[in-house]
């Protein structure tokens, strides 16, 4: 029977990662010398499970590595070893190593062997001289057994009275013995008490068994393995004069059992029974096609049973409504219009609830993303000689799994920034009259259809002058330009912008804040900064709860309906011809207060026939994508509604300027405008035309 | 075939064991730890209990001891799934009333072969 172990590996990796998270968080709370038994038990159990699973699912390297960790933890657990700071650090690195090995296996990448060996060497060293190479029992077992193959055995088996209470059964063992060779047993009833004194749960009988056939001693010991301590057992080779007869017998044995001749008692039949069973098993093997190994990409999701129950409930109600409506349809007359309307609104409610429930399945608490921060803050504060306390709130706030995966890196970056640039050194804090320990706070909550994540520190705050000076130096801002505070802080997200005097190991290379912003924008969210000098800064990330649904503004261009994501719309206005300027004869810009926006005629971009081509009194939707603004010329603003995003790439192909499509209530398809893409396209056109002019 | 109670806190091990046993035609009830297993066992009879040793809330050894005190489980085979190569856990398990053990790592074939010993 071959079962494909790959199918369980995904679960194994998932639960191992969870186990590693537990180990990590317990280790981070642990103080040298004062480990409480429960904490140690928790991490030991996690390591133990990972080791066992890894060995079972064919991940030998991970099993070997984790084995050393487990051995050390076992010593700690048994009180043979104190938990030192070094040990905590080493265990934490081991957690990283195991994590790395797991992900390498998942993604089919190579692991950093040198690094792993280095940690393993550290672990081995810690185990030290205590770990003498244990004699490998399996080797000695086989060595012993090869020399003890005989033609027959005499077994003296005297069960202790309590043996049956462990669930071991003499008949079972005898049946197995009979499966090995020619079996006969003589029962010794000497210890059998009179019936009245007999306790049916106790074993009184002793047995003298003769087993003929070419059998290894280990095969017999294996059958008695579980009862070794519950009986007196002697296994002796048959070496007397009837050896030859035994040998002869054993040659005939196959034949005898084949014919089904009872050799002794009822225990002789099993060989046949076993064969039949094996047939059955093979048959069931064939019926059970091996499931395909799941690819590393196909990740799974853990869903609370309550969410599934909700769904089932909802589907139940939907079925009821459906049958109610179909009954109504069978003999419908106008007198029952009211009931029809009731039914339809019921259906609408069911559908909406069902949609919400399905969406909830993809929702995970943000603690999944927050969990890595205690470790990071711990490591970084040690590295930077700062005292930092991390507080978190709203960890149970849920958001879409995909969004969660994508927000991880930007969050790491922002937290790093707070630690590196925000929180001051203990001395500086003391001098400023603040507690030596700085606080970084992560907070998450829902607001409307969004999740808000705040990263707040009580550090020095952003330096307005320094940022402005830097911006002027880099030519991002004019010398005498007067910018409001928020505008200045927004400069932080410009590519290549860093005010750090010294580029540290942790951050300050100015790479990243722009990436952070871009990643958040790509998720349809945005990030804002607030800062008070001397009191700290707060970065606020606002994200849609899910990527599958979008709040959209429906607009019409000719006969076509397009959807513009609401988050990217700044405002809508009627074009005032006097604000329209032409640059280089081709590109049109619209002056909106101090900004000049390129005018993007949507009908040109998508090649459709509009109601009107003139700009005068036209409708301009001012949008912002990738921090570039533009004005989209449309014919009419329709309603706003939530739309379910259908991917164009999977259903058709990628189209520049469009991010997807959706189906409207009347069944028509509406395309969703990729605002950043359209703005970029228009700028490229401009550049093209400029180049043409230069070339001409 | 046999009605088996499989107890393990590791979901992947539980999946593997259950899948293997079901594939061989057995009926399997799963439990996530000793306590959960005991709760299930109080209301039902099983032909065999397979239990992990190290588990939160209630470990396999305590489970074996508790099961033996239930009238339904006086002689029911209880097998420990253990990674301990050493004798300690095995003996501790035996003392608590376990029938025998299967040493991890084991593959489905080994599991079925061992099961067959006690379900006959």
The pair of structure tokens assigned to B104 is: 């991890």
Which of A166, A168, A223 is the mutation pick for testing B, counting most B CBs within 10 A?
A: A166
Stretch B82-108: mean pLDDT, rounded? 79
- Decide if B10 touches A, using CB distance below 8 A: yes
Q: What is the least distance, in Å, from the CA of A537 to any CA of chain B?
A: 42
B30: chain A residues, CB-CB within 8 Å = none
User: What pLDDT score does A104 carry?
Assistant: 84
pLDDT reading at B63 higher than 90: yes
- Decide if B118 touches A, using CB distance below 8 A: yes
A52: chain B residues, CB-CB within 8 Å = 10, 13, 83, 104-105
Stretch B81-104: mean pLDDT, rounded? 79
For the packed helices A305-330 and A337-361, what is the interaxial angle rounded to 10 degrees? 160
Phi, psi of A159 (to 5 degrees): -65, 145
A403 and A541 in contact (C-beta within 8 Å)?
Answer: no
B54: chain A residues, CB-CB within 8 Å = 44-45, 48-49
A277: chain B residues, CB-CB within 8 Å = 116
| Interface list for chain A against chain B, based on CB atoms closer than 8 Å | 1-3, 5, 7-9, 11-12, 14-15, 42, 44-45, 48-49, 51-53, 55-57, 63, 137, 164-169, 172, 175-176, 201, 225-226, 229-230, 277, 280-281, 284-285, 288
The answer to whether B99 contacts A168, with C-beta atoms less than 8 Å apart, is yes
In CATH, what number does A549-695 get?
Answer: 2.40.50.180
The pair of structure tokens assigned to B42 is: 């109080």
Domain A6-129 CATH (choose: 3.40.50.620, 1.25.60.10, 2.40.30.260, 1.20.120.160): 1.20.120.160
A49: chain B residues, CB-CB within 8 Å = 9-10, 13, 54
The answer to whether B83 contacts A284, with C-beta atoms less than 8 Å apart, is no
- Decide if B20 touches A, using CB distance below 8 A: yes
User: What pLDDT score does A508 carry?
Assistant: 45
CA distance A341 to A321: 12
CA distance A64 to A123: 12
User: Which active-site residues of A does the annotation give?
Assistant: 48, 70, 417
The answer to whether B16 contacts A284, with C-beta atoms less than 8 Å apart, is no
Tell me the C-alpha to C-alpha distance, in Å, between residue A15 and each of A9, A46, A687, B12: 10, 9, 53, 8
pLDDT reading at B5 higher than 90: yes
A280: chain B residues, CB-CB within 8 Å = 25
For chain B, which residues make up each domain, given as ranges? 3-119
What is the assigned CATH class of domain B3-119? alpha beta
The answer to whether B85 contacts A176, with C-beta atoms less than 8 Å apart, is no
B101: chain A residues, CB-CB within 8 Å = 226
pTM (two decimals): 0.52
Please write down the long-range contacts of A139-148, taking CB distance under 8 Å and 24 or more positions apart. A141/A218, A142/A218, A144/A217, A144/A218, A145/A216, A145/A217, A145/A218, A146/A216, A148/A216, A148/A217, A148/A218, A148/A237
CB environment A496-516: b (16+ within 10 A), e (fewer): ebbbeeeeeebbbebebbbeb
Please write down the long-range contacts of A614-620, taking CB distance under 8 Å and 24 or more positions apart. A615/A575, A615/A577, A615/A580, A615/A588, A616/A575, A616/A577, A617/A574, A617/A575, A618/A574, A618/A575, A619/A572, A619/A573, A619/A574, A619/A575, A620/A572, A620/A573, A620/A574, A620/A575, A620/A590
A169: chain B residues, CB-CB within 8 Å = 75, 77, 118
The share of chain B scoring above pLDDT 70, in percent, equals 96
- Per CATH, which fold does A365-544 belong to? Heat Shock Protein 90 (3.30.565)
Torsion of CA B94, B100, B103, B104, to 10 degrees: -90
Which position has the token pair 């009862």?
A227
- Decide if B45 touches A, using CB distance below 8 A: no
pLDDT per residue as tens digits for the range B27-55: 999 999 999 999 999 888 899 999 998 88
- The whole-number mean pLDDT for each consecutive block of 10 residues of chain A, a chain of 696 residues, reads 72 88 85 77 87 84 86 82 80 88 82 81 74 42 48 85 82 84 84 80 84 83 82 79 44 42 42 49 46 46 80 88 87 85 88 81 86 86 87 88 85 88 89 90 83 90 82 77 77 71 48 79 84 89 79 90 89 89 80 87 89 85 83 91 80 82 85 87 62 41
pLDDT bracket for residue B87 (50, 70, 90) = low
Residue A436: name the closest of A418, A423, A422 by CA. A423
Q: What is the least distance, in Å, from the CA of A38 to any CA of chain B?
A: 10
Phi, psi of A473 (to 5 degrees): -60, -40
pLDDT bracket for residue B84 (50, 70, 90) = low
The answer to whether B23 contacts A1, with C-beta atoms less than 8 Å apart, is yes
User: What pLDDT score does A399 carry?
Assistant: 85
A223 and A146 in contact (C-beta within 8 Å)?
Answer: no
Q: What is the least distance, in Å, from the CA of B16 to any CA of chain A?
A: 6
The answer to whether B99 contacts A226, with C-beta atoms less than 8 Å apart, is yes
- Decide if B54 touches A, using CB distance below 8 A: yes
SS3 B13: helix
CB nearest B15 (choices: A8, A42, A164):
A8
- Decide if B99 touches A, using CB distance below 8 A: yes
User: What pLDDT score does A134 carry?
Assistant: 43
CB nearest B99 (choices: A15, A167, A201):
A167
Strand pairing category for A628-634 and A595-601: parallel
The radius of gyration of chain B from alpha carbons, rounded to an integer in Å, stands at: 13
Q: What is the least distance, in Å, from the CA of B112 to any CA of chain A?
A: 9
CB nearest B105 (choices: A52, A167, A229):
A52
For chain B, helix (H) and strand (E) counts, in that order, are: 5, 5
CA distance A664 to B76: 62
Domain A148-287 CATH (choose: 4.10.1110, 1.10.1760, 2.30.30, 3.30.70): 3.30.70
Q: What is the least distance, in Å, from the CA of B77 to any CA of chain A?
A: 5
Cα B2–Cα B4–Cα B10 angle in degrees, nearest 5:
150
Computed over every residue of chain A, the mean pLDDT equals: 78
The pair of structure tokens assigned to A214 is: 């070419």
The answer to whether B13 contacts A56, with C-beta atoms less than 8 Å apart, is yes
CB nearest B104 (choices: A52, A284, A288):
A52
């Amino acid at each position: 029977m071959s079962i494909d172990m790959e199918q369980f590996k995904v679960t194994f990796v998932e639960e191992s990662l969870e186990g590693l998270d537990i180990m990590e968080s317990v280790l981070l709370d642990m103080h040298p010398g004062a480990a409480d038994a429960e904490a140690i038990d928790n991490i030991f159990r996690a390591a133990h499970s990972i080791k066992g699973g890894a060995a079972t699912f064919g991940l030998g390297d991970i099993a070997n590595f984790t084995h050393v960790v487990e051995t050390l933890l076992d010593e700690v657990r048994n009180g043979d070893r104190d938990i030192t700071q070094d040990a905590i650090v080493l265990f934490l690195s081991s957690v990283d190593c195991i994590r790395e090995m797991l992900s390498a296996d998942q993604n089919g990448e190579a692991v950093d062997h040198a690094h792993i060996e280095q940690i393993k060497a550290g672990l081995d060293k810690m185990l030290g001289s205590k770990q003498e190479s244990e004699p490998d029992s399996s080797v000695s077992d086989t060595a012993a057994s090869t020399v003890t193959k005989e033609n027959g055995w005499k077994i003296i088996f005297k069960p202790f009275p309590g043996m049956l209470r462990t669930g071991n059964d003499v008949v079972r063992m005898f049946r197995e013995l009979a499966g090995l060779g020619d079996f006969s047993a003589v029962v010794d009833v000497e210890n059998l008490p009179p019936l009245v004194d007999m306790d049916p749960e106790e074993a009184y009988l002793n047995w003298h068994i003769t087993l003929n056939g070419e059998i290894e001693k280990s095969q017999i010991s294996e059958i008695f393995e579980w009862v070794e301590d519950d009986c007196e057992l002697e296994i002796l080779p048959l070496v007397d004069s009837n050896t030859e007869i035994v040998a002869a017998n054993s040659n005939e044995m196959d034949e005898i059992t084949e014919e089904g001749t009872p050799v002794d008692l009822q225990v002789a039949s099993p060989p046949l029974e076993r064969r039949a069973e094996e047939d059955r098993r093979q048959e069931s093997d064939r019926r059970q096609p091996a499931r395909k190994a799941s690819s590393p990409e196909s990740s799974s999701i853990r869903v609370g049973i309550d969410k599934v129950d909700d769904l089932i409930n909802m589907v139940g109600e939907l079925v009821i409504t459906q049958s109610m409506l179909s009954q109504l349809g069978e003999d419908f007359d106008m007198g029952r219009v009211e009931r029809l309307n009731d039914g339809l609104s019921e259906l609408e409610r069911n559908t909406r609830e069902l949609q919400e429930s399905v969406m909830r399945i993809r929702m995970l608490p943000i603690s999944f993303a927050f969990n890595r921060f205690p470790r990071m803050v711990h490591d970084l504060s040690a590295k930077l000689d700062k005292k930092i306390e991390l507080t978190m709130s709203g960890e149970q706030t849920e958001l879409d799994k995909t969004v969660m995966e994508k927000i991880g890196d930007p969050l790491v970056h922002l937290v790093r920034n707070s630690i590196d640039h925000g929180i001051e050194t203990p001395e500086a804090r003391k001098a400023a009259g603040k507690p030596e320990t700085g606080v970084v706070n992560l907070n998450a909550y829902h607001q409307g259809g969004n999740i808000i994540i705040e990263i707040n520190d009580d550090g020095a705050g952003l330096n307005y002058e320094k940022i402005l000076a830097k911006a002027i130096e880099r030519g991002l801002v004019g010398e005498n330009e007067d910018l409001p505070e928020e505008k200045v802080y927004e400069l932080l997200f410009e590519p290549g912008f860093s005010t750090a005097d010294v580029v540290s190991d942790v951050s300050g290379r100015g790479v990243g804040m722009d990436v952070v912003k871009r990643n958040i924008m790509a998720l349809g969210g945005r990030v804002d900064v607030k800062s008070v000098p001397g009191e700290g800064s707060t970065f606020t990330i606002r994200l849609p709860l899910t990527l599958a649904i979008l709040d959209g503004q429906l607009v019409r261009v000719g006969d076509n309906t397009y959807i513009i994501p609401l988050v990217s719309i700044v405002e809508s206005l009627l074009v005032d011809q006097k604000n329209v300027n032409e640059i280089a004869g081709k590109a049109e810009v619209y002056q909106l207060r101090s900004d000049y926006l390129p005018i993007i005629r949507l009908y040109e971009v998508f090649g459709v026939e509009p109601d009107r081509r003139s700009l005068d009194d036209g409708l301009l939707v001012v949008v912002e994508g990738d921090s570039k603004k533009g004005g989209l010329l449309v014919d009419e603003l329709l309603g706003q509604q939530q739309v379910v995003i259908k991917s164009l790439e999977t259903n058709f192909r990628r189209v520049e300027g469009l991010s997807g499509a959706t189906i409207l209530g009347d069944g028509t398809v509406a395309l969703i405008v990729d605002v950043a893409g359209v703005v970029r396209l228009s700028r490229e056109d401009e550049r093209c035309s400029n180049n043409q002019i230069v070339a001409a | 075939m046999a009605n088996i109670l499989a107890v393990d806190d590791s979901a992947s091990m539980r999946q593997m064991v259950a899948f293997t046993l079901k594939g061989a035609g057995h009926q399997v009830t799963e439990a996530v730890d000793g306590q959960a297993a005991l709760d299930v066992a109080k209301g039902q009879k099983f032909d065999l209990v397979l239990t992990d040793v190290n588990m939160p809330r209630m470990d396999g050894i305590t489970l074996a001891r508790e099961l033996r005190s239930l009238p339904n489980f006086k002689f029911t085979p209880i097998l420990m799934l253990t990674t301990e190569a050493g004798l300690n856990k095995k003996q501790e398990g035996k003392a608590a009333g376990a029938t025998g053990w299967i040493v991890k790592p084991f593959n489905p074939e080994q599991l079925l072969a061992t099961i067959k010993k006690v379900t006959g």
